[in-house]
């Protein structure tokens, strides 16, 4: 691991989380062939035995390491009160469960740390790529592929209104806003996990991610947003230049925009009204 330190997590703590999230990802891969599937709120909202097993492991390990912190998982049967102050770990055991079920590789294990409802550090592990992404403001955004040395991402060029844009949007947003596909110089890219989406921006494989439906949960965003902010990416909504975590609510009732600097300006120029 890189010999660096933040005021939030020491090197040995970062190593602990990287090993934990990698182990969870390896378990997800091993369970994939025999996993059981059931619906939560409907056919498009599914959970697997892998989600539940990874949730149990991650919650147990983090709670043991940080007994005074609050630990919240998407798969908690009953969410208790989530404090607005202090340290809160947000866990998405498998972000992109439908992708995991399809076995297309577009899923990730994600952990994010909020302090006083502000995203400060995140970990995302992509099992299909055997690669972890991690970081936070003041620490930088890093990539750690298995059996390789960690690499720090360099800052990305600013997105301009004249650029050809590789835009990541979910199925529901594409269906509700078909006019976006007709925007000039826009290529729609389909991916799964939000963690993977942020990784693709950092890797230069896409430019920005937009979620317009207003239904993302805090465990979807805490880790990826921390990593995005670590590399100076734009993170905000169509209205404001930040993404707020309104704890104890677990829902972002807003649009969510994450991308190269300039993404917020680009979205406000092109996405506020249909372009006919």
Q: Which domain holds residue 244?
A: 165-270
Overall number of domains in the chain: 2
Residue from 203, 187, 185 nearest 195 by CA = 203
Question: Taking 80 as the threshold, does the pLDDT of residue 73 lie above it?
Answer: yes
pLDDT score at 77: 58
118 lies in some domain: yes
Task: Please report which confidence band the pLDDT of residue 215 belongs to, taking 50, 70 and 90 as the band edges.
Answer: confident
Quote the Cα angle for 194-198-204, to 5°: 140
Lowest mean pLDDT among 58-67, 68-77, 258-267: 68-77
Same domain, residue pair 21 and 145:
yes
Of 152, 181, 216, the residue at which a domain comes to its end is: 152
- Looking at 61-70, 96-105, 219-228, which range is the least confident one? 96-105
In a domain, 40, yes or no: yes
Domain end (from 152, 176, 197) = 152
Check whether residue 147 and residue 23 sit in a common domain: yes
**Which CATH number belongs to the domain containing residue 85 in this structure?**
3.30.540.10
Residue 45 pLDDT class (50, 70, 90 cuts): low
Q: Tell me, what's the pLDDT at 133?
A: 98
């Amino acid at each position: 691991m890189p010999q660096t330190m933040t005021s939030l997590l020491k090197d040995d703590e970062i190593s602990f989380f990287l090993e934990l999230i990698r182990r969870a990802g390896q378990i997800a891969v091993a369970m994939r062939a025999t996993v059981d599937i059931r619906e939560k709120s409907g056919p498009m909202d599914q959970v697997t035995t892998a989600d539940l097993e990874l949730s149990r492991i991650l919650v147990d390990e983090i709670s043991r390491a940080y007994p005074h912190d609050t630990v919240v998982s998407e798969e908690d049967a009953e969410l208790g009160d989530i404090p607005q102050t202090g340290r809160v770990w947000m866990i998405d055991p498998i972000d992109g469960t439908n992708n995991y079920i399809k076995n297309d590789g577009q899923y990730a294990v994600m952990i994010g740390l909020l302090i006083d409802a502000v995203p400060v550090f995140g970990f995302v592990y992509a099992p299909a790529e055997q690669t972890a992404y991690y970081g936070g403001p003041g620490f930088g955004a890093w990539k750690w592929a298995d059996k390789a040395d960690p690499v720090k991402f360099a800052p990305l060029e600013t997105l301009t209104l004249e650029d050809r844009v590789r835009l990541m949007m979910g199925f529901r947003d594409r269906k509700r806003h078909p006019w976006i596909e007709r925007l000039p110089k826009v290529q729609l890219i389909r991916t799964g996990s939000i963690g993977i989406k942020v990784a693709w921006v950092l890797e230069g494989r896409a430019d920005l991610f937009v979620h317009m439906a207003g239904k993302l949960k805090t465990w979807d965003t805490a880790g990826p947003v921390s990593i995005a902010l670590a590399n100076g990416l734009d993170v905000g909504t169509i209205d404001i230049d930040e993404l707020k975590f309104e704890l104890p609510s677990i829902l972002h009732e807003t649009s969510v925009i994450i991308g190269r600097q300039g993404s917020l300006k680009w979205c406000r120029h092109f996405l506020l009204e249909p372009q006919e």
